[in-house]
Amino acid sequence: MAETRITPHEILLPVKAGFIAATLVAALLLNLLPWSGHALWIKPDFVALVVLYWCIETPRRIGFLAAWLLGLTMDVADGTLFGQHALAYTILAYAGIVLHRRVRMFAVTSQMLHVVTLLLMNDVIVITVRALAGAEFPGFQYFIGSFVGGALWPFMVALFRLPQRPQPDPDHA
Amino acid sequence: MEHTPPPFFKTGPTPLARLLIFSSLSITLLVADTLFGYLTPVRQVAAAAVYPLQRIALAPGAIAERIGEFFVTQSSLRSENDRLAAERLSSAAQLQQLQALQLENAQLRELIEARKRLDVKVLAAEVLYAARDPFSRKIIVDKGLQSGVQAGQAVLDDRGVVGQVTRVYPWLAELTLITDKGHFVPVQNQRNGLRAVLSGTGSEGTLELRFIPLNADFQNGDRLATSGIDGVYPAGLPVAEVANVERNAASLFARITCKPLAGVANRTQLLIVIGRPELPPRPVEEQKSPRPKRARKG
């Protein structure tokens, strides 16, 4: 785990815009897979997870507009209320951007606590919006996905940092 | 992380300002969607844009299924073939009977100058996925506006009513299942003709007859069929079977739970009823009466 510490001391190459876009599209595809039954309950919201990662990692490059548009996409694909995910992702992006300096100071395992809390907040926003529109509370298993999302965080951090690792220069080897 | 020096003077709006802008945009959309329903065209355009992504996401499952089909054993195919042949024989006999009955019925109806019942036209559709929304019971099928599907059309499977088309996209349509919490089907008890409204409960495999008086004649095992008085569901389609009747003298109404006859949750092939029964025009609404607040139908 020591290698995957996000600390200000680790020097990484700048993130390519294409890589950010590719991860976001991949997250969208994962969310759009035909999940059903029990898999639906443990499924984390991949888009929320990836948006949160990029908001913490590069808050200047990815932010509200991307989060909002991805939220609208999820609303259309799932046939939910138009704007429900958009609102939740916007607030999630805000939390990620405001907290990014603080979260980066922690080791990846401690970051998981922040991530789970933020994803739970995301769920609560969605549930509140639906409750205002007249839906009933879907049960506590609705929150399982956020814990799974938190558990996936270290793997995602390790994976997303691979392209930014500086390659050893063959001339200086 | 950033290799460009931070712009000292031009950073644009602060995060809080941006949060307020985008949140209020979202809330505007939510209100426009839930209260006024203004956003159908916007939704359709966005759905057309998302459609390729959805197809890509569905591709792995479809490929796995096709590979699975390739390895189906001959014996299972044979047994299925035998079963289908037997079914076809028995249904052919029933069909002949039915044709005779239909002729007879038509003649009788002409005799009593009844309105001819419209032939029900159906369109086969395949279920793509269940909507990933734990708040409602909805599924997405692969036929949409392009195939003539319209919101409000009834959806059946081989055993009974499954639900109703509630939203149409260019190539997809969204069905609300009869088990959805906000969904109601007008039904009639096939045993004694009692009419009632069957409502979904939001949980799979359970339906409920609400506001039925304690002394109403409903028994376990009664079959309920659509009554057709709503103009959405054609009359006479089997919907559900009464599973449990609870008469508690302390409450005003009997508690009647039913279970759907159709495979509401596990079907992949469905039929969408395209033709609607012709109804007489609705009576003209009175002009000056204040509009009552209507509950939104899910």
Give the pLDDT of residue B197. 92
B32 touches chain A (CB under 8 A): yes
Mutation pick from B14, B26, B55, B296 vs chain A, by most beta carbons of A within 10 Å, is B26
User: Which site among A42, A81, A82, A129 would you substitute to test the B interface, given the most B Cβ atoms closer than 10 Å to its Cβ?
Assistant: A82
Q: Note the pLDDT of residue B9.
A: 63
Q: Which residue out of B19, B24, B31, B132 would a mutagenesis test of the A interface target, given it has the greatest number of A Cβ atoms within 10 Å?
A: B132
> Would you call B2 and A14 a contact, using CB atoms and an 8 Å cutoff?
yes
C-alpha distances in Å from residue B235, one per residue of B126, B161, B212, B260, B273: 24, 11, 21, 17, 12
Rounded Cα gap, residues B180 and A76, in angstroms:
19
CB contact under 8 A, B47 and A76: yes
Helix, strand, coil percentages for chain A (3-state, nearest 5): 70, 0, 30
User: In Å, how far are A105, B2, B11 from B8, measured between CA atoms?
Assistant: 24, 14, 7
Chain A residues with CB under 8 Å of B21 CB are 64
Q: What is the pLDDT of residue A96?
A: 92
Q: Do B132 and A71 touch (CB under 8 A)?
A: no
For residue B27, the chain A residue with the least C-alpha distance is A83
DSSP line for chain B? ---SPPPSS---S-HHHHHHHHHHHHHHHHHIIIII-TTHHHHHHHHHHHHHHHHHHHHHHHHHHHHHHHT--HHHHHHHHHHHHHHHHHHHHHHHHHHHHHHHHHHHHHHTTPPPPPPPPEEEEEEEEE-S-TTS-EEEES--GGGT--TT-EEE-SSSEEEEEEEE-SS-EEEEETTSTT-EEEEEETTT--EEEEEE-SSTT-EEEEEEETTS---TT-EEEE--TTSSSPTT-EEEEEEEEE--TTSSEEEEEEEESS-TTT-SEEEEE-S----PPPPPPPSSSPPPPPPPP-
Instruction: Tell if the CB–CB gap between B26 and A90 is shorter than 8 Å.
Output: yes
Name the closest residue on chain B to residue A79, using Cα atoms: B131
Global pTM value: 0.73
Domain ranges of chain B: 15-70, 120-277
pLDDT at A2: 45
The pLDDT confidence band at residue B43, using thresholds 50, 70 and 90, is confident
Residues A80, A86: Cα–Cα separation, whole Å? 11
Interhelix angle A64-78/B40-70, rounded to 10 degrees, is: 70
Residues of A in contact with B296 (CB under 8 A): 134
Tens-place pLDDT, residues A128-143: 988 888 777 878 888 9
Task: State mean pLDDT over A27-50.
Answer: 86
What is the rounded CA–CA span in Å between residue B58 and residue B64?
Answer: 10
Name all domains of chain A by residue range, CATH numbers in brackets.
14-164 (1.10.1760)
Selected residue with higher pLDDT from B104 and A1: B104
A94–B19: do the CB atoms touch at under 8 Å? yes
B135/A90 CB distance under 8 A: no
pLDDT value for B71 = 81
Is the pLDDT reported for residue A148 higher than 80? Answer: yes
Contact flag A71-B26 (C-beta cutoff 8 Å)? yes
User: Which pLDDT value is given to residue A9?
Assistant: 52
A23: confidence class by pLDDT, cuts 50, 70, 90: very high
Report the SS3 class of residue A138. coil
- The residue ranking higher by pLDDT, B161 or B158, is B161
How far apart are the C-alpha atoms of B51 and B28, rounded to whole Å?
A: 25
In A35-74, the residues whose Cβ lies within 8 Å of chain B are 35-36, 40-41, 43, 57-58, 60, 63-65, 67-68, 71-73
Query: What's the rounded mean pLDDT across residues B262-284?
Result: 75
pLDDT of residue A89: 94
Share of chain B above pLDDT 90, in %: 12
Q: Do B130 and A78 touch (CB under 8 A)?
A: no
Question: What is the residue-averaged pLDDT of chain A?
Answer: 86
A82 touches chain B (CB under 8 A): yes
DSSP, residue by residue, A21-77: HHHHHHHHHHHHS---THHHHH---HHHHHHHHHHHH-TTTS-HHHHHHHHHHHHHH
Q: Extract the tokens encoding B262.
A: 């159709």
> Per-residue pLDDT tens for A57-95?
888 888 889 999 999 998 888 878 888 999 999 999 999
Q: What is the 3-state secondary structure (H, E, C) of A140-158?
A: HHHHHHHHHHHHHHHHHHH
What is the C-alpha separation between B112 and A34, in angstroms, rounded?
52
Q: What average pLDDT does the segment B36-55 reach?
A: 83
What are the structure tokens assigned to A43, written together? Answer: 């499924």
- B118-140 pLDDT per residue, tens: 466 788 888 888 777 777 788 88
Q: Mean pLDDT, chain B, as a whole number?
A: 82
The Cα B262–Cα A32 span in angstroms is 27
The residues facing B70 across adjacent strands are none
CB spacing of A82 vs B33 below 8 angstroms: yes
Domain B120-277 has CATH 2.40.30.30: no
Residues 45-74 (B) with a CB less than 8 A from some CB of A: 46-47, 50, 53-54, 56-58, 60-61
State the pLDDT at residue A54: 93
Q: What tens digit of pLDDT does each residue of B188-222 get? A: 998 888 899 999 888 778 899 988 888 888 889 89
With CA atoms as reference, the chain B residue closest to A92 would be B19
Joined together, the tokens standing for residue A41 give 């309950």
Tell me the pLDDT tens digit for each residue of B65-83. Answer: 888 888 877 888 888 899 9
ipTM, two decimals, is 0.80
Whether residue B1 lies within 8 A of chain A, CB to CB, comes out as yes
Q: What is d(CA A114, CA A104) in angstroms, rounded to the nearest whole number?
A: 10
